[in-house]
């Protein structure tokens, strides 16, 4: 397999975790990193072994040697950063949630199509072997017809007005940051288009949701019950129940290395335990490499349609809560 020159935009928390994985994938070349601050970029490049660093995202986007750019900025910046990369002919792996809303995402996907470039949301959960094993059990009919999904992603995050998580301007809130995982699982197990979406949220002092609860009802009477938030601890496992059995994805379901299949009497039938090779992010990197090496513009594991379907539900939820990002009060989807 060929080697791919990666560019990384943003030097925050997830960029560090991702670059640790990048360093463990032989086909990945840690080529360039960009920060809004040249010194931060230089320090990050030195720490992770990047060949180049830039003090602006534009400079990185214009580097002709880059094969693919990983965007690790806050949600509010994804639209601008992805459009910058796509306009400059770069393939893109963009952190979740890929955009603030469907309008932005639609423009980003159209741009990728127009420029004939690869675009994937960094929904790493969908690339993980344990998750794929659970999906395989479902498609093989091992649990019968799926009737119910329960998935939570809650933890305690101390309030910090400077943290993007609490900032409307940064696209903060538990919905786009956390609920995107349970919603993606529900869409994979039950379908992308529920018949009914019932949701409620606790909106904090800054105007973003600190916790939320979402109930999806499907045409055939199946349900998904999903909870996310920054205010309560939780085991964060996921249960996918069918009329012949059930699957439990272990605690922290989106990054677990363990999936268990039970029959309808809750007797264990099979357990899948697949340890990470690096830290679990290597699988999405390998998926990007696989797509690029065969010229795919869209991953079959993380298709655009799935990213859009989940975004649609999140738009619906926010609409019912009356929660808008400041960018949405202005005319253009990017907020300019
Ligand atoms: N896949 C996962 O497991 C996972 C986990 C956590 C987060 N995420 C996603 O990754 C993205 C970044 O999250 P994070 O937790 O890494 O955020 P973070 O620690 O706040 O870092 C974001 C970085 O983006 C850059 N940036 C650009 N514009 C910014 C702005 N207006 N405010 C603050 N930073 C800005 C900064 O880098 P420079 O200063 O160097 O330019 C900053 O370090 C989010 O979309 C989040 O949902 C994914």
- In the chain, what are the domain boundaries? 123-336
pLDDT of the residue at 328:
96
pLDDT of the residue at 2:
81
Helix or strand holding residue 214 (H, E) = strand 209-217
Catalytic site includes residue 312 = no
- Nearest-Å Rg of the Cα atoms of the chain is 20
Q: Where are the alpha helices (DSSP H) in the chain?
A: 13-22, 38-48, 57-61, 75-87, 102-114, 129-139, 174, 180-190, 282-293, 304-321
pLDDT of the residue at 248:
98
pTM for the predicted model, two decimal places:
0.97
Q: Per residue in 75-129, pLDDT tens?
A: 999 999 999 999 999 999 999 999 999 999 999 999 999 999 999 999 999 999 9
Using CA atoms, how far apart are residues 223 and 201, in angstroms rounded to an integer?
A: 19
Q: Is the CB of 335 under 6 A from ligand 1?
A: no
The domain defined by 123-336 folds into Dihydrodipicolinate Reductase; domain 2 (3.30.360)
Q: Is the CB of 115 under 6 A from ligand 1?
A: no
> Annotated catalytic residue: which of 52, 96, 126, 150?
96
pLDDT of the residue at 332:
54
Residue numbers in the chain where pLDDT is lower than 50: 336
Atom 27 of ligand 1, residue of closest alpha carbon: 73
Q: Report how far ligand 1's centroid is from the alpha carbon of 246 (Å).
A: 36
Average pLDDT, the chain: 97
pLDDT of the residue at 336:
45
């Amino acid at each position: 397999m060929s080697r791919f020159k990666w560019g990384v935009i943003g030097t925050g928390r997830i960029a560090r975790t991702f670059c640790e994985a990048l360093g463990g994938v032989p086909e990945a070349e840690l080529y360039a990193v960009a920060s809004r601050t040249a010194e931060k970029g230089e320090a990050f490049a030195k720490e992770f072994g990047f060949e180049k660093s830039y003090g602006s995202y534009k400079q990185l986007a214009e580097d002709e040697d880059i094969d693919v750019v990983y965007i690790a900025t806050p949600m509010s910046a994804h639209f601008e950063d992805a459009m910058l990369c796509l306009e400059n002919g770069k393939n893109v792996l963009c952190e979740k949630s890929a955009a603030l809303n469907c309008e932005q995402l639609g423009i980003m996907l159209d741009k990728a199509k127009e420029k004939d470039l690869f675009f994937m949301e960094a929904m790493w959960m969908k690339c993980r072997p344990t998750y794929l094993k659970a999906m395989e059990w479902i498609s093989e009919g091992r649990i019968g017809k799926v009737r119910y999904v329960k998935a939570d992603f809650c933890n305690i995050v101390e309030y910090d007005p400077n943290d993007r998580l609490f900032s409307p301007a940064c696209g903060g809130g538990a919905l786009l940051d956390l609920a995107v995982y349970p919603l993606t699982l529900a869409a994979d197990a039950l379908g992308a288009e529920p018949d009914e979406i019932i949701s409620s949220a606790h909106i904090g002092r800054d105007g973003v949701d600190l916790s939320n609860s979402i109930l999806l009802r499907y045409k055939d009477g199946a349900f998904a019950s999903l909870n996310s938030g920054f205010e309560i601890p939780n085991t964060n496992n996921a249960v996918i129940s069918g009329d012949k059995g059930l699957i439990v994805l272990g605690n922290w379901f989106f990054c677990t290395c363990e999936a268990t299949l039970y029959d309808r009497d809750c007797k264990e039938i099979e357990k899948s335990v697949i340890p990470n090779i690096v830290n679990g992010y290597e699988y999405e990197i390998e998926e990007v490499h696989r797509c690029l090496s065969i010229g795919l513009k869209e991953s079959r594991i993380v298709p655009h349609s799935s990213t859009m379907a989940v975004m649609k539900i999140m738009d619906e939820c926010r609409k019912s809560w009356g929660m808008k990002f400041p960018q949405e009060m202005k005319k253009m989807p990017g907020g300019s």
